[in-house]
Amino acid sequence: MASSRKSKPSPKPAPMAAKRIALALSGGLDSVVLLDTVCKAVQASDTSKQSTEVWVFHIHHGLQKSADQWLEFCEKLAKKYRAQFDFRLLHFADKAQGNIEARARAERYDALTELCIEHDIEILLLAHHQNDQAETILLQLLRGSGVAGLAGMPQQRINTADGQSITLWRPLLNQSRADLEVYAKKYKLKWVEDPSNQNTRYRRNAIRKEIIPRLEKIQPGAISNLARSADLLAQSQVLLDRLAKLDGKDIFQGAGLKLKPLLALAKLDKPAANNLMRYWLKVNKLAMPSQERLESWWKDLMAVKQDSSLEWQHDEVSIRLWRGVLQVANSAFGHWIFKAIPPRSKLLGLSLALVSEAEQRGLVEHRQRQGAEKIQIKPKTPRKTLKNLFQESDMPPWERQAPLLYINDELIAVAGVGVSYPHLVSTGRRVLPEWSEKP
């Protein structure tokens, strides 16, 4: 896991604008072209009454020698276009572990999401183009992906994080890299080259440098044809998701799947059951399993007794069967955060003043469960042991390990159970403690 350091926000934020959009700027040709087109379009369309504030975000991965220069380049460019600028520094402790390219990408999306939340941005523009789409599809084909993978990247996708919806938008997805080069030449744009793009050790780069040019030679228009196929498959995927929702009507239970009706569907219609299983994994933001893995899961499920349990490791989480329901087991790693309650909300929370003071004085701590802890969760009820509360809330055993939140030596919150009732307040600026899965 990469840690990130926050930058100082731009010194002078512009006056509150009607609309805010952000652009992910790597400093490469694609995002430099996007920045130029977006800023020109905003300038042309804005009347003095309603302005659009453009933000530029850069993520410094710290993986290349020139990373500092790219950051500097992006900051200067944002300034030139009079856009607001912010960035994140990522730090990868163990660069040799796993696929560093994939890890960097995942961390980059998380950091961009954080920046959007911090600056109240609902639309984030990414500069992926048609060649990126063609590369993605070829990579997926090589992996033996199904419809979802071969549908490539969507032009728009809504991400929900911390209760805020962020639309990821790829406005250049129908433009080829050659089109972008022509544009950049015409307007004399400058950009930086990432040397790792030349490195054919990475599969994506090998496809970009070696395969796509050959395909274009054999079949002119191959890039746009691949993108068109992706579009058609994306439409098919919408229908498959709709089917999974219909098939799962009596199978979904909260975020889990009920074993009995799931097995009944699998016996009756295996492709439908596979489709449902894939849909469920997608909803839980997990990677698609290989056909082989899916088959071995069905074997396990067919052999299991209704009340027994089983566990699979998949995409760095465990999937468990517990009390007849298949569910994704939350990891025991994470940290406590305090989330602001929106004004006028009817929710009860802890007083922000109390929490801030306790935090400043170092009185907020998390402790591991010892065994005899008690807490009062509801009004007019006695304090209960955690064991009772966990059983009452039907909390699976693997979720009972999260540390407990203490303020000033008093137990304040238990993940999945609740907050100490005597400390809850209904008015003023309030926060709720929440156990966040991300460490």
Ligand X SMILES: Nc1ncnc2c1ncn2[C@@H]1O[C@H](COP(=O)(O)OP(=O)(O)OP(=O)(O)O)[C@@H](O)[C@H]1O
Please list every residue from 66 through 105 that binds ligand X, using CB under 6 A.
105
Decide if residue 25 touches ligand X (CB under 6 A). yes
One of 38, 59, 288, 413 touching ligand X (CB under 6 A):
59
Q: Which amino acid is at 122?
A: E
How many of the other CB atoms lie within 10 Å of CB of 35? 26
Within 13 Å, how many C-alpha atoms sit on residue 92's CB side?
A: 21
Q: Which amino acid is at 259?
A: L
How many of the other CB atoms lie within 10 Å of CB of 430? 24
Shortest Cβ distance from residue 200 to ligand X (Å)? 16
Within 13 Å, how many C-alpha atoms sit on residue 421's CB side?
A: 11
Count residues near ligand X (CB under 6 A): 15
Beta strand pairing call for 410-414 and 418-419: antiparallel
Shortest Cβ distance from residue 29 to ligand X (Å)? 9
Letter string b/e over residues 64-98, b meaning 16 or more CB atoms within 10 A of that residue's CB = eeebeebbebbbebbeebebbbbbbbbebeeeeee
Residue 26, marked binder: yes
For residue 355 the two structure tokens come to 């929490």
Decide if residue 128 touches ligand X (CB under 6 A). yes
Shortest Cβ distance from residue 54 to ligand X (Å)? 14
Per DSSP, the residues of 72-94 read HHHHHHHHHTT-EEEEEEEE-S-
Alpha-carbon Rg for the chain in angstroms: 25
Compose the 167-206 pattern: x for residues touching ligand X by CB under 6 A, - for all others. ----------------------------------------
The smaller minimum CB distance to ligand X, of residues 203 and 383, is found at: 203
**CA angle (117 as vertex; 346, 255 as ends), nearest 5:** 65
Residue 29, marked binder: yes
One of 2, 22, 24, 223 touching ligand X (CB under 6 A):
24
One of 83, 115, 116, 126 touching ligand X (CB under 6 A):
126
Shortest Cβ distance from residue 45 to ligand X (Å)? 22
Q: Which residue is nearest to ligand X (CB)?
A: 127
The smaller minimum CB distance to ligand X, of residues 37 and 420, is found at: 37
d(CA 206, CA 209): 5
How many of the other CB atoms lie within 10 Å of CB of 429? 14
One of 2, 30, 390, 435 touching ligand X (CB under 6 A):
30
Decide if residue 323 touches ligand X (CB under 6 A). no
Task: Select the span of 121-129, 322-330, 388-396, 403-411 touching ligand X (CB under 6 A).
Answer: 121-129
One of 22, 39, 58, 107 touching ligand X (CB under 6 A):
58
The smaller minimum CB distance to ligand X, of residues 20 and 58, is found at: 58
Q: Which residue is it, tokens 């991300």?
A: 438
For residue 82 the two structure tokens come to 């009079």
Q: What is the DSSP letter of 402?
A: S
The smaller minimum CB distance to ligand X, of residues 126 and 328, is found at: 126
Shortest Cβ distance from residue 23 to ligand X (Å)? 7
Q: Are 117 and 42 in contact (CB under 8 A)?
A: no
Shortest Cβ distance from residue 232 to ligand X (Å)? 20
Q: Which residues bind ligand X (CB under 6 A)?
A: 24-26, 30-31, 57-59, 105, 108, 126-128, 132, 136
